[in-house]
Protein backbone atom coordinates (compact mmCIF):
# COMPACT_ATOMS: atom_id res chain seq x y z
CA UNK A 1 0.00 0.00 0.00
CA UNK A 2 2.43 2.71 -1.18
CA UNK A 3 -0.04 5.54 -0.57
CA UNK A 4 -0.15 4.75 3.16
CA UNK A 5 3.61 4.83 3.67
CA UNK A 6 4.39 7.61 6.14
CA UNK A 7 0.71 8.59 6.54
CA UNK A 8 -0.16 9.83 10.01
CA UNK A 9 -3.34 7.94 10.90
CA UNK A 10 -5.24 8.47 14.12
CA UNK A 11 -7.28 5.30 14.77
CA UNK A 12 -10.34 5.92 16.94
CA UNK A 13 -12.00 2.93 18.57
CA UNK A 14 -15.49 3.12 20.07
CA UNK A 15 -17.50 0.64 22.15
CA UNK A 16 -18.59 -2.28 20.00
CA UNK A 17 -17.84 -5.98 19.75
CA UNK A 18 -16.16 -5.24 16.41
CA UNK A 19 -13.38 -3.53 18.39
CA UNK A 20 -11.58 -6.86 18.32
CA UNK A 21 -10.99 -6.25 14.59
CA UNK A 22 -9.27 -2.95 15.39
CA UNK A 23 -6.16 -4.72 16.64
CA UNK A 24 -5.74 -6.45 13.28
CA UNK A 25 -6.52 -3.16 11.52
CA UNK A 26 -3.80 -1.34 13.48
CA UNK A 27 -1.34 -4.08 12.56
CA UNK A 28 -2.22 -3.87 8.85
CA UNK A 29 -1.85 -0.08 8.87
CA UNK A 30 1.59 -0.37 10.46
CA UNK A 31 2.53 -3.06 7.95
CA UNK A 32 1.51 -0.68 5.14
CA UNK A 33 4.02 1.86 6.48
CA UNK A 34 1.63 4.24 8.23
CA UNK A 35 2.29 5.99 11.53
CA UNK A 36 -0.57 5.00 13.82
CA UNK A 37 -1.76 6.52 17.08
CA UNK A 38 -4.83 5.21 18.88
CA UNK A 39 -7.58 6.95 20.83
CA UNK A 40 -10.13 4.77 22.62
CA UNK A 41 -13.43 5.68 24.18
CA UNK A 42 -14.16 4.51 27.70
CA UNK A 43 -16.57 1.87 26.42
CA UNK A 44 -14.07 0.51 23.89
CA UNK A 45 -11.81 -0.53 26.75
CA UNK A 46 -14.43 -3.06 27.82
CA UNK A 47 -13.82 -4.94 24.57
CA UNK A 48 -10.07 -4.55 23.98
CA UNK A 49 -7.27 -3.21 26.19
CA UNK A 50 -5.11 -0.15 25.48
CA UNK A 51 -2.05 -2.32 26.14
CA UNK A 52 -2.86 -4.48 23.10
CA UNK A 53 -3.02 -1.44 20.81
CA UNK A 54 0.11 0.04 22.35
CA UNK A 55 2.03 -3.17 21.64
CA UNK A 56 0.85 -3.22 18.02
CA UNK A 57 1.51 0.46 17.25
CA UNK A 58 4.49 1.20 19.46
CA UNK A 59 2.70 4.36 20.64
CA UNK A 60 0.98 5.21 23.91
CA UNK A 61 -2.79 4.91 23.65
CA UNK A 62 -4.87 7.91 24.69
CA UNK A 63 -8.15 7.25 26.51
CA UNK A 64 -9.09 10.39 28.44
CA UNK A 65 -9.78 14.01 27.59
CA UNK A 66 -8.99 15.03 31.15
CA UNK A 67 -5.53 13.45 31.33
CA UNK A 68 -3.52 16.09 33.31
CA UNK A 69 -0.16 15.05 31.84
CA UNK A 70 -1.32 15.05 28.21
CA UNK A 71 -3.50 18.12 28.51
CA UNK A 72 -0.69 20.16 30.02
CA UNK A 73 0.44 20.49 26.43
CA UNK A 74 -3.12 20.65 25.00
CA UNK A 75 -2.84 17.01 23.96
CA UNK A 76 -6.18 16.78 22.15
CA UNK A 77 -5.24 19.73 19.92
CA UNK A 78 -1.80 18.24 19.31
CA UNK A 79 -3.40 14.96 18.22
CA UNK A 80 -5.90 16.80 16.00
CA UNK A 81 -3.08 18.67 14.27
CA UNK A 82 -0.83 15.60 14.01
CA UNK A 83 -3.32 13.45 12.13
CA UNK A 84 -3.54 13.43 8.35
CA UNK A 85 -6.36 10.88 8.52
CA UNK A 86 -8.81 10.24 11.34
CA UNK A 87 -10.22 6.73 11.01
CA UNK A 88 -12.84 5.52 13.51
CA UNK A 89 -13.30 1.74 13.44
CA UNK A 90 -15.64 0.62 14.78
CA UNK A 91 -18.00 3.59 14.80
CA UNK A 92 -21.07 2.81 16.91
CA UNK A 93 -24.53 4.30 16.41
CA UNK A 94 -23.98 6.35 19.57
CA UNK A 95 -20.68 7.78 18.37
CA UNK A 96 -22.17 8.61 14.97
CA UNK A 97 -25.04 10.43 16.68
CA UNK A 98 -22.70 12.44 18.90
CA UNK A 99 -20.45 13.45 16.00
CA UNK A 100 -23.44 14.27 13.77
CA UNK A 101 -24.67 16.72 16.43
CA UNK A 102 -21.34 18.28 17.31
CA UNK A 103 -20.81 16.78 20.75
CA UNK A 104 -17.35 17.06 22.32
CA UNK A 105 -17.77 15.12 25.54
CA UNK A 106 -14.74 12.84 25.33
CA UNK A 107 -11.29 12.85 23.76
CA UNK A 108 -12.30 11.24 20.46
CA UNK A 109 -15.26 13.51 19.69
CA UNK A 110 -13.32 16.59 20.82
CA UNK A 111 -10.37 16.01 18.53
CA UNK A 112 -12.74 15.18 15.65
CA UNK A 113 -14.20 18.68 15.98
CA UNK A 114 -10.72 20.20 16.20
CA UNK A 115 -9.04 18.39 13.31
CA UNK A 116 -8.69 19.39 9.66
CA UNK A 117 -7.65 15.86 8.68
CA UNK A 118 -9.53 13.60 6.28
CA UNK A 119 -12.18 11.92 8.42
CA UNK A 120 -13.49 8.40 7.83
CA UNK A 121 -15.41 5.86 9.84
CA UNK A 122 -16.39 2.20 9.60
CA UNK A 123 -19.87 1.83 11.13
CA UNK A 124 -20.60 -1.28 13.21
CA UNK A 125 -23.92 -2.02 14.89
CA UNK A 126 -27.01 -4.22 14.90
CA UNK A 127 -28.86 -4.30 11.58
CA UNK A 128 -31.99 -2.70 13.07
CA UNK A 129 -29.91 0.11 14.56
CA UNK A 130 -28.25 0.74 11.20
CA UNK A 131 -31.60 0.81 9.40
CA UNK A 132 -33.22 3.13 11.95
CA UNK A 133 -34.13 6.51 10.38
CA UNK A 134 -32.16 8.37 13.06
CA UNK A 135 -28.97 6.49 12.16
CA UNK A 136 -29.58 7.00 8.46
CA UNK A 137 -30.11 10.73 9.04
CA UNK A 138 -26.91 10.89 11.08
CA UNK A 139 -24.99 9.12 8.32
CA UNK A 140 -26.22 11.63 5.75
CA UNK A 141 -25.38 14.55 8.04
CA UNK A 142 -21.87 13.18 8.65
CA UNK A 143 -21.35 12.84 4.89
CA UNK A 144 -22.42 16.45 4.46
CA UNK A 145 -19.84 17.42 7.11
CA UNK A 146 -17.15 15.69 5.07
CA UNK A 147 -16.98 12.29 6.73
CA UNK A 148 -16.53 9.29 4.49
CA UNK A 149 -18.34 6.14 5.60
CA UNK A 150 -16.57 2.86 4.85
CA UNK A 151 -19.32 0.26 4.81
CA UNK A 152 -21.01 -1.20 6.69
CA UNK A 153 -20.89 -4.77 5.43
CA UNK A 154 -23.80 -7.20 5.69
CA UNK A 155 -24.06 -10.74 7.01
CA UNK A 156 -24.20 -12.66 10.28
CA UNK A 157 -23.98 -10.51 13.40
CA UNK A 158 -22.81 -11.29 16.93
CA UNK A 159 -26.36 -10.89 18.25
CA UNK A 160 -27.63 -13.58 15.87
CA UNK A 161 -29.28 -11.19 13.40
CA UNK A 162 -28.42 -11.14 9.70
CA UNK A 163 -28.23 -7.92 7.67
CA UNK A 164 -26.30 -4.70 7.14
CA UNK A 165 -24.29 -3.28 10.03
CA UNK A 166 -21.17 -5.42 10.26
CA UNK A 167 -17.87 -3.56 10.34
CA UNK A 168 -15.91 -4.07 7.14
CA UNK A 169 -13.01 -6.49 7.41
CA UNK A 170 -9.70 -4.74 8.19
CA UNK A 171 -8.25 -5.74 4.80
CA UNK A 172 -11.10 -3.96 2.99
CA UNK A 173 -10.74 -0.87 5.16
CA UNK A 174 -7.02 -0.64 4.44
CA UNK A 175 -7.67 -1.06 0.71
CA UNK A 176 -10.31 1.69 0.73
CA UNK A 177 -8.06 3.91 2.84
CA UNK A 178 -5.23 3.44 0.36
CA UNK A 179 -7.54 4.43 -2.50
CA UNK A 180 -8.72 7.49 -0.58
CA UNK A 181 -5.16 8.68 -0.02
CA UNK A 182 -4.10 8.47 -3.66
CA UNK A 183 -3.02 11.80 -5.18
CA UNK A 184 -5.99 11.73 -7.56
CA UNK A 185 -9.37 12.88 -6.22
CA UNK A 186 -11.46 10.09 -4.75
CA UNK A 187 -14.70 11.00 -6.46
CA UNK A 188 -15.18 12.48 -9.93
CA UNK A 189 -16.62 15.91 -10.46
CA UNK A 190 -20.41 15.75 -10.24
CA UNK A 191 -22.36 16.00 -13.47
CA UNK A 192 -25.49 18.06 -13.87
CA UNK A 193 -28.52 15.77 -13.75
CA UNK A 194 -31.97 16.99 -14.79
CA UNK A 195 -34.19 18.06 -11.92
CA UNK A 196 -36.83 15.59 -13.11
CA UNK A 197 -34.41 12.76 -12.39
CA UNK A 198 -33.27 13.91 -8.96
CA UNK A 199 -34.75 12.94 -5.59
CA UNK A 200 -36.08 15.57 -3.22
CA UNK A 201 -32.96 15.41 -1.06
CA UNK A 202 -29.93 14.29 -3.12
CA UNK A 203 -26.90 13.71 -0.92
CA UNK A 204 -23.37 12.39 -1.11
CA UNK A 205 -24.75 9.10 0.26
CA UNK A 206 -27.95 8.94 -1.76
CA UNK A 207 -27.80 5.12 -1.94
CA UNK A 208 -27.38 4.68 1.81
CA UNK A 209 -29.40 1.69 3.02
CA UNK A 210 -30.00 0.35 -0.52
CA UNK A 211 -28.81 -3.01 -1.80
CA UNK A 212 -27.64 -2.92 -5.42
CA UNK A 213 -26.89 -6.08 -7.39
CA UNK A 214 -24.91 -5.80 -10.61
CA UNK A 215 -23.72 -8.20 -13.28
CA UNK A 216 -20.45 -7.50 -15.07
CA UNK A 217 -18.00 -8.95 -17.57
CA UNK A 218 -18.55 -11.60 -20.26
CA UNK A 219 -19.96 -15.08 -19.96
CA UNK A 220 -18.25 -18.18 -21.32
CA UNK A 221 -20.38 -20.83 -23.01
CA UNK A 222 -18.40 -24.09 -23.24
CA UNK A 223 -18.19 -26.08 -26.48
CA UNK A 224 -15.85 -28.77 -25.19
CA UNK A 225 -13.26 -29.03 -22.38
CA UNK A 226 -10.89 -26.55 -24.09
CA UNK A 227 -13.10 -24.19 -26.13
CA UNK A 228 -15.90 -21.75 -25.38
CA UNK A 229 -17.93 -18.91 -26.90
CA UNK A 230 -17.43 -15.48 -25.37
CA UNK A 231 -17.04 -11.78 -26.25
CA UNK A 232 -14.66 -8.84 -25.78
CA UNK A 233 -16.12 -7.48 -22.52
CA UNK A 234 -13.40 -6.61 -19.99
CA UNK A 235 -15.79 -5.98 -17.10
CA UNK A 236 -14.32 -2.51 -16.50
CA UNK A 237 -17.65 -0.69 -16.80
CA UNK A 238 -19.46 -3.04 -14.44
CA UNK A 239 -16.66 -2.90 -11.87
CA UNK A 240 -16.61 0.90 -12.10
CA UNK A 241 -20.36 0.90 -11.43
CA UNK A 242 -19.88 -1.37 -8.40
CA UNK A 243 -17.19 0.95 -7.05
CA UNK A 244 -19.41 4.00 -7.58
CA UNK A 245 -22.42 2.32 -5.97
CA UNK A 246 -20.37 1.52 -2.86
CA UNK A 247 -19.13 5.11 -2.76
CA UNK A 248 -22.73 6.32 -2.85
CA UNK A 249 -23.40 4.32 0.30
CA UNK A 250 -25.06 1.18 -1.08
CA UNK A 251 -24.48 -2.40 -0.08
CA UNK A 252 -23.18 -3.83 -3.37
CA UNK A 253 -23.29 -7.36 -4.71
CA UNK A 254 -21.31 -7.96 -7.93
CA UNK A 255 -22.04 -11.06 -10.03
CA UNK A 256 -19.01 -11.31 -12.27
CA UNK A 257 -18.13 -13.27 -15.35
CA UNK A 258 -14.45 -14.22 -15.85
CA UNK A 259 -12.34 -11.04 -15.79
CA UNK A 260 -8.84 -10.07 -14.67
CA UNK A 261 -9.97 -7.30 -12.29
CA UNK A 262 -9.60 -6.92 -8.53
CA UNK A 263 -12.76 -6.91 -6.44
CA UNK A 264 -13.70 -3.32 -5.51
CA UNK A 265 -13.27 -2.58 -1.81
CA UNK A 266 -16.38 -3.21 0.26
CA UNK A 267 -18.14 -5.09 -2.56
CA UNK A 268 -19.40 -8.67 -2.32
CA UNK A 269 -18.31 -10.59 -5.42
CA UNK A 270 -19.87 -13.77 -6.83
CA UNK A 271 -17.90 -15.41 -9.66
CA UNK A 272 -19.72 -17.25 -12.44
CA UNK A 273 -18.83 -18.55 -15.89
CA UNK A 274 -21.89 -19.21 -18.03
CA UNK A 275 -25.14 -17.33 -18.61
CA UNK A 276 -27.05 -20.07 -16.76
CA UNK A 277 -24.81 -19.67 -13.70
CA UNK A 278 -25.22 -15.88 -13.85
CA UNK A 279 -29.01 -16.20 -14.04
CA UNK A 280 -29.12 -18.51 -11.01
CA UNK A 281 -26.90 -16.16 -8.98
CA UNK A 282 -29.10 -13.20 -9.99
CA UNK A 283 -32.29 -15.05 -9.01
CA UNK A 284 -30.90 -15.67 -5.54
CA UNK A 285 -29.60 -12.11 -5.21
CA UNK A 286 -32.72 -10.12 -6.10
CA UNK A 287 -34.68 -11.36 -3.08
CA UNK A 288 -33.18 -8.53 -1.01
CA UNK A 289 -32.09 -6.16 -3.80
CA UNK A 290 -33.56 -2.71 -4.29
CA UNK A 291 -31.85 -2.17 -7.65
CA UNK A 292 -30.62 -4.65 -10.26
CA UNK A 293 -28.20 -3.46 -12.97
CA UNK A 294 -27.51 -5.88 -15.82
CA UNK A 295 -24.18 -4.64 -17.15
CA UNK A 296 -22.72 -8.01 -18.13
CA UNK A 297 -22.19 -8.85 -21.80
CA UNK A 298 -24.11 -12.12 -21.67
CA UNK A 299 -23.59 -14.45 -24.64
CA UNK A 300 -26.84 -14.62 -26.61
CA UNK A 301 -26.33 -18.27 -27.55
CA UNK A 302 -24.73 -21.44 -26.18
CA UNK A 303 -23.96 -24.81 -27.73
CA UNK A 304 -27.00 -27.06 -27.91
CA UNK A 305 -24.81 -29.97 -26.92
CA UNK A 306 -21.60 -29.87 -24.88
CA UNK A 307 -18.88 -32.23 -26.12
CA UNK A 308 -17.27 -34.16 -23.29
CA UNK A 309 -14.08 -34.50 -25.31
CA UNK A 310 -12.19 -32.01 -27.47
CA UNK A 311 -13.78 -31.54 -30.89
CA UNK A 312 -11.29 -32.94 -33.39
CA UNK A 313 -10.65 -31.78 -36.91
CA UNK A 314 -11.97 -34.26 -39.45
CA UNK A 315 -9.67 -34.83 -42.46
CA UNK A 316 -11.16 -33.34 -45.60
CA UNK A 317 -13.77 -31.20 -43.82
CA UNK A 318 -13.20 -27.46 -44.29
CA UNK A 319 -16.17 -26.40 -42.18
CA UNK A 320 -17.61 -27.18 -38.77
CA UNK A 321 -21.31 -26.81 -38.04
CA UNK A 322 -22.31 -25.93 -34.49
CA UNK A 323 -25.93 -25.87 -33.43
CA UNK A 324 -26.60 -23.05 -30.96
CA UNK A 325 -29.59 -22.34 -28.74
CA UNK A 326 -30.65 -19.12 -27.06
CA UNK A 327 -29.43 -18.30 -23.59
CA UNK A 328 -31.88 -17.05 -20.94
CA UNK A 329 -32.49 -13.29 -20.93
CA UNK A 330 -31.27 -12.36 -17.46
CA UNK A 331 -32.36 -8.73 -17.29
CA UNK A 332 -35.84 -9.54 -18.67
CA UNK A 333 -36.17 -12.34 -16.12
CA UNK A 334 -35.34 -9.90 -13.32
CA UNK A 335 -37.87 -7.41 -14.68
CA UNK A 336 -40.62 -10.05 -14.62
CA UNK A 337 -39.84 -11.26 -11.09
CA UNK A 338 -42.38 -10.71 -8.34
CA UNK A 339 -41.62 -8.74 -6.30
CA UNK A 340 -39.18 -7.07 -8.59
CA UNK A 341 -36.34 -4.60 -7.96
CA UNK A 342 -35.76 -1.43 -9.95
CA UNK A 343 -34.23 -2.94 -13.11
CA UNK A 344 -31.59 -1.27 -15.30
CA UNK A 345 -30.40 -2.82 -18.55
CA UNK A 346 -27.52 -2.07 -20.91
CA UNK A 347 -27.67 -1.89 -24.69
CA UNK A 348 -24.32 -2.16 -26.49
CA UNK A 349 -25.09 -1.37 -30.12
CA UNK A 350 -23.19 -0.61 -33.31
CA UNK A 351 -25.95 1.29 -35.16
CA UNK A 352 -29.31 2.95 -34.46
CA UNK A 353 -28.25 2.94 -30.82
CA UNK A 354 -31.13 4.85 -29.24
CA UNK A 355 -33.82 3.19 -31.35
CA UNK A 356 -32.67 -0.30 -30.41
CA UNK A 357 -32.21 0.72 -26.78
CA UNK A 358 -35.67 2.29 -26.51
CA UNK A 359 -37.19 -0.85 -28.02
CA UNK A 360 -35.36 -3.03 -25.47
CA UNK A 361 -36.52 -0.72 -22.64
CA UNK A 362 -40.16 -1.19 -23.62
CA UNK A 363 -40.04 -4.82 -24.73
CA UNK A 364 -38.30 -6.07 -21.59
CA UNK A 365 -40.27 -3.84 -19.22
CA UNK A 366 -37.15 -2.19 -17.79
CA UNK A 367 -37.12 0.90 -15.57
CA UNK A 368 -34.06 2.37 -17.27
CA UNK A 369 -31.53 1.46 -19.94
CA UNK A 370 -27.96 2.58 -20.55
CA UNK A 371 -27.17 2.68 -24.26
CA UNK A 372 -23.71 2.96 -25.73
CA UNK A 373 -22.22 2.77 -29.21
CA UNK A 374 -19.49 0.11 -29.08
CA UNK A 375 -18.45 0.80 -32.66
CA UNK A 376 -16.71 4.05 -31.64
CA UNK A 377 -12.95 3.73 -31.48
CA UNK A 378 -11.49 4.01 -27.97
CA UNK A 379 -14.83 3.57 -26.21
CA UNK A 380 -16.66 0.58 -24.78
CA UNK A 381 -15.25 -2.95 -24.71
CA UNK A 382 -11.76 -3.14 -23.26
CA UNK A 383 -11.25 0.65 -23.24
CA UNK A 384 -10.82 2.90 -20.21
CA UNK A 385 -13.36 5.44 -21.50
CA UNK A 386 -16.99 5.22 -22.48
CA UNK A 387 -20.03 7.34 -23.32
CA UNK A 388 -23.69 6.59 -22.80
CA UNK A 389 -27.27 7.73 -23.22
CA UNK A 390 -29.64 6.96 -20.33
CA UNK A 391 -33.28 6.38 -21.25
CA UNK A 392 -36.39 5.88 -19.07
CA UNK A 393 -40.07 6.71 -18.78
CA UNK A 394 -41.53 8.74 -15.93
CA UNK A 395 -44.82 8.32 -14.08
CA UNK A 396 -46.72 10.05 -16.89
CA UNK A 397 -45.15 7.70 -19.45
CA UNK A 398 -43.11 10.58 -20.82
CA UNK A 399 -39.65 9.62 -22.16
CA UNK A 400 -36.64 10.68 -20.12
CA UNK A 401 -33.17 11.05 -21.58
CA UNK A 402 -29.72 11.98 -20.30
CA UNK A 403 -26.67 12.01 -22.57
CA UNK A 404 -23.26 11.48 -20.98
CA UNK A 405 -20.33 12.39 -23.27
CA UNK A 406 -17.06 10.41 -23.55
CA UNK A 407 -15.20 10.29 -20.22
CA UNK A 408 -13.39 7.84 -17.97
CA UNK A 409 -15.46 4.82 -16.99
CA UNK A 410 -15.03 5.78 -13.33
CA UNK A 411 -16.54 9.24 -13.90
CA UNK A 412 -19.25 7.85 -16.16
CA UNK A 413 -20.12 5.18 -13.59
CA UNK A 414 -20.58 7.82 -10.90
CA UNK A 415 -23.02 9.75 -13.09
CA UNK A 416 -24.92 6.57 -14.02
CA UNK A 417 -25.27 5.44 -10.40
CA UNK A 418 -26.37 8.93 -9.29
CA UNK A 419 -29.06 8.95 -11.99
CA UNK A 420 -30.19 5.38 -11.35
CA UNK A 421 -30.53 6.00 -7.62
CA UNK A 422 -32.32 9.29 -8.28
CA UNK A 423 -34.81 7.55 -10.56
CA UNK A 424 -35.27 4.78 -7.98
CA UNK A 425 -36.16 7.35 -5.31
CA UNK A 426 -38.46 9.17 -7.73
CA UNK A 427 -40.22 5.91 -8.59
CA UNK A 428 -40.68 5.16 -4.89
CA UNK A 429 -42.23 8.59 -4.35
CA UNK A 430 -44.51 8.12 -7.35
CA UNK A 431 -45.64 4.74 -6.01
CA UNK A 432 -46.48 6.27 -2.63
CA UNK A 433 -48.52 9.01 -4.28
CA UNK A 434 -50.48 6.58 -6.45
CA UNK A 435 -54.05 5.99 -5.24
CA UNK A 436 -54.35 2.77 -3.26
CA UNK A 437 -57.04 0.31 -4.31
CA UNK A 438 -59.43 -0.71 -1.58
CA UNK A 439 -59.21 -4.34 -0.64
CA UNK A 440 -62.53 -6.15 -0.33
Residue ranges of the annotated binding site for CTP are 294-296, 300, 310, 328-331, 346, 360, 364
Rg of the chain over Cα atoms, rounded to whole angstroms, equals 25
CB 22 within 8 A of CB 45: no
Kindly report the CA angle at 410 between 334 and 353, in degrees rounded to 5? 55
Residues annotated within the binding site are: 294-296, 300, 310, 328-331, 346, 360, 364
Catalytic one of 159, 226, 355, 395 = 159
User: Rounded CA gap, 237 and 297, in Å?
Assistant: 11
Residue 159 a catalytic site member: yes
Side-chain-side CA neighbours of residue 246 (13 Å): 27
Q: In a 3-state reduction of DSSP, which class is residue 333?
A: helix
- Residues 252-283 as b/e (b if ≥16 CB within 10 A, e otherwise) read bbbbbbebebebbbbbbbbebbbbebbbebbe
- Left (φ > 0), alpha (ψ -120 to 50) or beta: where does 52 sit? alpha
Q: Any residues with CB less than 8 A from the CB of 33 and at least 6 apart, and which?
A: 1, 2, 4, 5, 6, 7
Is the distance from CB of 174 to CB of 28 less than 8 angstroms? yes
Catalytic positions, please?
A: 159
Amino acid sequence: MPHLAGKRILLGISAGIAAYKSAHLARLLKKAGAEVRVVMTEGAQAFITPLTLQALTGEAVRTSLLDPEAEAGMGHIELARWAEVVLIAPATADLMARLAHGHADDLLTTLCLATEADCMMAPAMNQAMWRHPATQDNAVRLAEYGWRLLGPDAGDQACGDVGPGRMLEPESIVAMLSTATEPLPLAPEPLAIPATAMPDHATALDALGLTITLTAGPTREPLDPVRYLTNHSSGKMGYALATAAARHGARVRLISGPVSLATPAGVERIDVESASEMLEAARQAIADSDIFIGCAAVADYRAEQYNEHKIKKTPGDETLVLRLVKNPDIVATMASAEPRPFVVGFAAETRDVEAYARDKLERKNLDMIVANDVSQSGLGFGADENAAVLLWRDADNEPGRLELPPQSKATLADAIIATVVARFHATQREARKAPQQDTP
